[in-house]
């Protein structure tokens, strides 16, 4: 496909009047984005009804409980779910961290997780699946403790939130090293962090509204503010609406699915508003060039079409081979494509093109962040 393998040249030829052999850039972009979002919807449906990554016939998908008289071949997630949970008053961040590490010790002591990760007969993908179950179980435990803290208005534990995953990773690494296990924890489990709760007052207020909504399903924002003694402001009315929507999303699967679909639909709409803004920034960078705004827009639409085409290809690759590495490759490939397209379309020297390439990416990244925040905000309040 010339659009993919000849960066920038198709746009240039189209503007110069050689249009018979090329598809309309606006129509092509629309078709490709529709295919991408339909594909995402399809994958979300598949994930919802998918079975375990490995069948029950594969013993590698099981962690066994250590017992001198009986070996229980219960599925991994069931064993981790039923392991003892250490309890205390949990009135400080130290308690939460301590209990988390004690639970991890219990998992490695009570199960054959270490043996499974150490075994040479297990493929890397099998070990990753086993570790994933452990990681999910660990995060579920963390979420449970955080929810209990919120319900009890115990905000001290939030001091530990941003380091819990780091503490987990370092503790597991230490256990693996002490037991001569050379298993390498996937990067995606190293970098994840909990939400950063900087504004405690906001979350305290949101928690109060959430509790009120649960106790009064037909309640109103005005009633909540009066009963809770909160100032009657538009901002607090918005917070109450936000708490209502959060309750629906977390307690109603249909509401959660509707929220996901709302985000997907609004992203596609947001792109149509962002691309003209992105084109405006591009035209400012090349304000001395002969191309008009519409011609810049043709280049942008063609470039974004390739963006989604590559994203479709690499997404399908990830799904087929069950990896997460192709997204890094996708970013590198697209950035190289964009640089080459800018160089070919505008015809400037590479050093100058590189400087504008960096500025353009900073501008585009900023727009993307603003757009995504706006989409989440709109999806929550509507």
* Residue 349, pLDDT score: 92
* Residue 70, pLDDT score: 38
Closest by CA to 306, choosing from 27, 43, 20, 33, is: 33
Give the dihedral sign, CA 243/246/251/254.
Answer: positive
User: Could you please report the per-residue DSSP string of 311-345?
Assistant: HHHHHHHHHHHT-S-HHHHHHHHHHHHHHHHHHHH
d(CA 137, CA 143): 10
Q: Is 23 left (phi over 0), alpha (psi -120 to 50) or beta?
A: beta
- What DSSP state is assigned to residue 155? G
* Residue 259, pLDDT score: 66
Q: Where are the domains of the chain?
A: 2-49+254-381, 62-198, 201-251
The pTM of the full predicted model, rounded to 2 decimals, is 0.53
* Residue 124, pLDDT score: 84
pLDDT, averaged per 10 consecutive residues of the chain (382 residues), comes to 84 83 84 84 66 41 49 43 45 68 86 86 85 82 70 59 74 89 80 43 73 86 84 81 79 68 66 84 86 89 90 84 76 91 91 92 86 72 60
d(CA 196, CA 355): 34
* Residue 356, pLDDT score: 92
d(CA 185, CA 125): 12
Alpha-helical runs (H) found in 58-92:
76-82
């Amino acid at each position: 496909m010339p659009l993919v393998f000849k960066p920038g040249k198709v746009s240039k030829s189209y503007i110069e009047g050689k249009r018979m052999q090329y598809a309309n850039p606006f129509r092509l972009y629309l078709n490709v984005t529709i295919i991408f979002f339909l594909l995402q919807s399809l994958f979300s449906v598949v994930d919802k009804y998918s079975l375990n990554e490995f069948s029950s016939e594969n013993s590698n998908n099981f962690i066994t409980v250590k017992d001198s008289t009986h070996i229980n071949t219960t599925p991994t997630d069931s064993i981790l779910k039923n392991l003892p949970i250490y309890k205390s008053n949990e009135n400080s961040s130290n308690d939460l961290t301590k209990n988390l590490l004690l639970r991890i010790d219990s998992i490695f002591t009570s199960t054959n997780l270490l043996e499974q990760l150490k075994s040479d007969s297990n493929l890397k993908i099998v070990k990753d699946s086993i570790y994933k179950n452990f990681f999910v179980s660990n995060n579920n435990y963390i979420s449970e403790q955080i929810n209990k803290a919120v319900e009890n208005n115990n905000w001290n534990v939030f001091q530990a939130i941003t380091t819990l995953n780091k503490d987990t990773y370092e503790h597991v690494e230490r256990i693996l090293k002490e037991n001569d296990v050379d298993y390498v924890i996937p990067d995606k489990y190293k970098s994840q962090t909990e939400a950063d709760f900087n504004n405690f007052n906001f979350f305290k207020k949101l928690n109060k509204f959430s509790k009120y909504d649960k106790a009064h399903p037909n309640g109103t924002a005005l009633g909540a503010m009066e009963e809770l003694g909160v100032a009657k402001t538009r901002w607090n009315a918005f917070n109450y609406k936000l708490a209502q929507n959060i309750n629906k999303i977390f307690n109603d699967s249909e509401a959660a699915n509707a929220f996901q679909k709302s985000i997907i639909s609004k992203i596609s709409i947001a792109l149509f508003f962002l691309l003209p803004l992105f084109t405006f920034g591009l035209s400012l960078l090349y304000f001395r060039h002969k191309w008009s705004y519409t011609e810049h827009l043709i280049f942008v639409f063609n470039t974004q079409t390739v963006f989604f085409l590559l994203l479709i290809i690499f997404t399908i690759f990830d799904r087929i081979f069950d990896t997460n590495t192709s997204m890094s490759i996708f970013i590198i490939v697209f950035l190289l494509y964009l640089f080459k397209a800018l160089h070919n379309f505008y015809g400037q020297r590479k050093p100058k093109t590189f400087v504008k390439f960096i500025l353009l990416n900073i501008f585009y990244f900023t727009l993307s962040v603003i757009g995504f925040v706006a989409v989440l905000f709109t999806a929550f309040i509507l």
